[in-house]
Chain A
Amino acid sequence: MDISYDLFINAVIAGLLLGGFYAAVTIGVSISFGILDIVNIAHPAFIILGSYIAYILNTTFGLDPILASLIVLPLFYALGSAIYQVYYQSFERRGQEALRGLAFFFGLLFITEVLLILVFGVDYRYVEAAYIGPSLRLGVMDFPLRMLVPCLVSLALFGALHVYLSRTFIGRAIAAVSQDQLALQLMAADPIRIKRIAFAMSIATASIAGALLIVIQPIEPSVGREYIGRVFAICVLGGLGSLPGTLVAAMLLGLFESFTSTFYGPSWAPAVSFGFLLLTLAFRPAGLFGR
């Protein structure tokens, strides 16, 4: 097959930009599932909720969707905090988190979806922003701003969370909490409080990821389902609990999807991505950056 240089380089760019966005979608699950062992399968639904909130603020007040997502960030944090409290009281405290906890998050996924359908219907919605449409061109390289802006926001989000988790006292406690709760108590930290903070942060990232999603594509309430498999695949591929791993895995998946879409057709993309996941796990069961 004859591959032109232009096509190749643009497939790389498209893959990296897509990967950057995938990273933002996954970071919340990387915290809840990867670090806390909470199988929050409803995360994509919260991302869609974030998309609709960005949509409302954009259409009614003309606010930039990403700015809007930052404004409602505290609300998502509070929502996450409340969800963890319910999850802890009802399941985790009794040691029933494995199966019933999973059912709980499945329930949240459906409830959120149905509520969104009831309020907004199933029509596709989109937002207006100056960077949706134009492209940045450097020679043969083409950077659509609609993809570039989300990618940059995602990288900033990763940087901020990585610094927080590795440099602050609460952050280090978050990284340790699932390893030994009693040992954490012996360090004078309340593990339930630490988990609540971390889970709330993971839901807060859904606000930003939601805004990025609706910048990239028009959405309807069940779009989130497309991401469930991908999100958990990236999380496992990167190595549970490792944010740099998540970022690298997201970029790799973006590249794979971009290449298969460009050269073989989009329908092969998931097969190639998941094939790569299985191969990686065969040789490195802990994932790329797993400890």
Chain B
Amino acid sequence: MANSIRIENIDAAYGAVRVLEDVSLTASDGETVALLGTNGNGKSTVMKCIMGIVRPSAGRIVAEIDGVSHDLIGRSTEQIVDLGIALVPEGRRLFPRQTVEENLLLGAFRPKAREQIKKNLAFCYEAFPRLAERRSQLAGSMSGGEQQMLALGRAIMTAPRILLIDEPSVGLAPVLVSRTIDKIKELKEVYQLTVLMAEQNFTQAIRIADRGYVIVHGKIAFDGRSAAELNNNDLIRKFYLGL
């Protein structure tokens, strides 16, 4: 059954500062979509609008979960997560004074996730062996790469159908970035997720993305229908490579 997300013409502002203007994007069933842009262009705000953390002043956000459509605007973050949409937030936001395992178990708070807790926990430990080794260590005492793995694992524990990831590469060494990106691909395939990823590391994101959008100053500047099209686009070359 289909899981997709569709953003239609949203505007958003922090007080008087306009952050998003007429943004539309879709992630269809089973797709991995990258939202590309450098810092301060509104990527995170798009994610926050989807999760009900920031309320758009105009437009619509519709999520289809297992074939049922839900209007997301006006719902609380808890309700949106409970529908089956998970966000791996920027900066990871783990519970630093809880152990690795406690963090993972907290992910399974919603009733639907509790049903699959054994299976998902076993999967997390298999996919991220480091987490299994450190299950009783405090999350705050782990390295950045390990914390990113834990944040991904914790999101999987919520048993999502749609996975949003905000800046998975931030603060990680290059070798860890590519490992993280590979893991996202693996998770997506195992759980047949629909993935929307905000990322500034263009070359890494485009490795696993089916499609991508480029956001500049709060507007969608380019809507790439394929990874190849993005790769050969002048705007992106200018934007990222300064050519």
CA A254 to CA B210, docked complex, whole Å: 66
Known: A169-B114, A175-B102, A176-B106. A186 touches B95 (CB 8 A): no
Closest residue to B80 on the A side, CB-wise?
A: A188
Q: A residues touching B (Cβ–Cβ < 8 Å)?
A: 169, 172-173, 175-176, 179-180, 182-190, 241, 291
* B89 cross-chain contacts in A, Cβ below 8 A: 182-183, 186
* A180 cross-chain contacts in B, Cβ below 8 A: 93-95
The interface size bin for chain B is 20 to 34
* Cβ contact within 8 Å between B114 and A291: no
* A188 cross-chain contacts in B, Cβ below 8 A: 78, 81-82, 109-110, 113, 158
* Cβ contact within 8 Å between B78 and A189: yes
Known: A180-B93, A186-B86, A291-B138. A169 touches B77 (CB 8 A): no
Known: A172-B105, A172-B106, A291-B138. A186 touches B77 (CB 8 A): yes
Q: Which of B85-115 contact A (CB under 8 A)?
A: 86-87, 89, 93-98, 102, 105-110, 113-114
Is there a chain A Cβ closer than 8 Å to B51's Cβ?
yes
How many A-B residue pairs have C-beta atoms within 8 angstroms? Tell me.
Answer: 68
Binary per-residue interface labels of chain B (198-223) against chain A in the complex, 1 for a CB within 8 Å, 0 otherwise: 00000000000000000000000000
Q: Among B82, B93, B97, point to the contact of A183 (Cβ < 8 A).
A: B93
* Cβ contact within 8 Å between A187 and B93: no
* A186 cross-chain contacts in B, Cβ below 8 A: 51, 77, 81, 86-87, 89, 93, 155, 158
Is there a chain A Cβ closer than 8 Å to B228's Cβ?
no
- Min Cβ gap A36→B in Å is 14
* Cβ contact within 8 Å between B109 and A187: yes
* B77 cross-chain contacts in A, Cβ below 8 A: 182, 185-186
* B107 cross-chain contacts in A, Cβ below 8 A: 187
- Min Cβ gap B51→A in Å is 7
Q: B residues touching A (Cβ–Cβ < 8 Å)?
A: 51, 53, 76-78, 81-82, 86-87, 89, 93-98, 102, 105-110, 113-114, 138, 154-155, 158
* B98 cross-chain contacts in A, Cβ below 8 A: 172, 175-176, 179
* Cβ contact within 8 Å between B76 and A190: yes
- Min Cβ gap B214→A in Å is 26
Interface pairs A-B: 8 shortest CB-CB: A188-B110, A188-B81, A185-B77, A183-B93, A176-B95, A291-B97, A188-B82, A187-B109
Closest residue to A183 on the B side, CB-wise?
A: B93
* Cβ contact within 8 Å between A169 and B108: yes
CA A95 to CA B94, docked complex, whole Å: 23
Closest residue to A176 on the B side, CB-wise?
A: B95
* B87 cross-chain contacts in A, Cβ below 8 A: 186
CA A216 to CA B107, docked complex, whole Å: 44
Closest residue to B140 on the A side, CB-wise?
A: A291
Among A176, A182, A186: residue with most chain B CB under 10 A: A186
- Min Cβ gap B155→A in Å is 8
Known: A169-B114, A172-B102, A188-B110. A179 touches B96 (CB 8 A): yes
- Min Cβ gap A227→B in Å is 27
CA A189 to CA B109, docked complex, whole Å: 7
* B93 cross-chain contacts in A, Cβ below 8 A: 180, 182-183, 186
Known: A176-B95, A179-B96, A180-B95. A187 touches B76 (CB 8 A): no
CA A272 to CA B179, docked complex, whole Å: 56
Q: Among A169, A190, A291, point to the contact of B78 (Cβ < 8 A).
A: A190
* A241 cross-chain contacts in B, Cβ below 8 A: 97
Among A173, A185, A190: residue with most chain B CB under 10 A: A185
CA A241 to CA B98, docked complex, whole Å: 11
For this complex, 12 residue pairs linking A to B, each with C-beta atoms less than 8 Å apart, are A179-B98, A180-B93, A180-B95, A185-B76, A185-B81, A186-B155, A186-B158, A187-B81, A187-B109, A188-B113, A190-B76, A291-B138
Closest residue to B138 on the A side, CB-wise?
A: A291
- Min Cβ gap B140→A in Å is 9
Closest residue to A242 on the B side, CB-wise?
A: B97
- Min Cβ gap B193→A in Å is 16
* Cβ contact within 8 Å between A182 and B53: yes
CA A175 to CA B96, docked complex, whole Å: 11
Closest residue to A185 on the B side, CB-wise?
A: B77
* A179 cross-chain contacts in B, Cβ below 8 A: 95-98
* B106 cross-chain contacts in A, Cβ below 8 A: 169, 172-173, 176, 184, 187, 189
* A183 cross-chain contacts in B, Cβ below 8 A: 89, 93-95
* A190 cross-chain contacts in B, Cβ below 8 A: 76, 78
CA A173 to CA B106, docked complex, whole Å: 7
